[in-house]
Structure 1
């Protein structure tokens, strides 16, 4: 009987989280609904004022952008890109080597790094800023390993739009399904 009580409590908590998440999404716009995108074993839910977009990386498996930020090339300036790369050697070393060149490039500034979890997987998180061709952006990346592949969820936005759109990335990270 205690097991059923615990399961019931967990279900109620999960339902409350779904309702709170839905309320956060609909608070931005009364016309916003939640859409689903699934590719390469990754499923994400995202608000309808974001849409599928092109990514500049050849490792990208999916990318979404805030609809009003997509440029004439189809690339969103406020975007979330999910990439998949084969892990070469130790996962942490592989990921850290991605950020090592930032120490020597004045166009990048590593703000923070640390450990986190995503969908029950150990993950690494990096926050950094960039200045490419006079455009200053902030980025948040969450890396995890699955099946010998390194996955990264990368959120990028101009500095003045980063914080106001971060909740979408955080929601995707908290709700992602990995098979």
Structure 2
């Protein structure tokens, strides 16, 4: 698997699985009827952000991640990231590879930590993955996410330091 910068030519491969994931309404606090135009604006970032794709040996896009400062100004030393793995390729290590890549990028770019602001607590696979990569749940906003199956569930705030040899 190769992780590389996303290009506009990758968008037609990203959009179908991004649309499927968002429309399911189980993992992202995006409008379930997100338009392609708005999705592209949200997902394909300009610097200092970065968007990448994970591709297999045949060039098939398996997943994508976007990385960016979590806040601006005096909060810009903390990174954040979002991840989408094509459901047809889930369970194959794509999310873990993208997560590790995001951590490596953030560390190399001089960020002091990475923070995820809204990990749906019912998304147990993602929570377990981020914990395995060193993230801790530092708080949960109760009933902050309306899950289509589980009703109102919490959104975890997850954090991982990147400095001091961590």
Q: Could you state the TM-score of these two structures normalised by the residue count of structure 2?
A: 0.29
Task: Answer 1 or 2: which has greater strand percent.
Answer: 1
Whose radius of gyration is greater, 1 or 2? 1
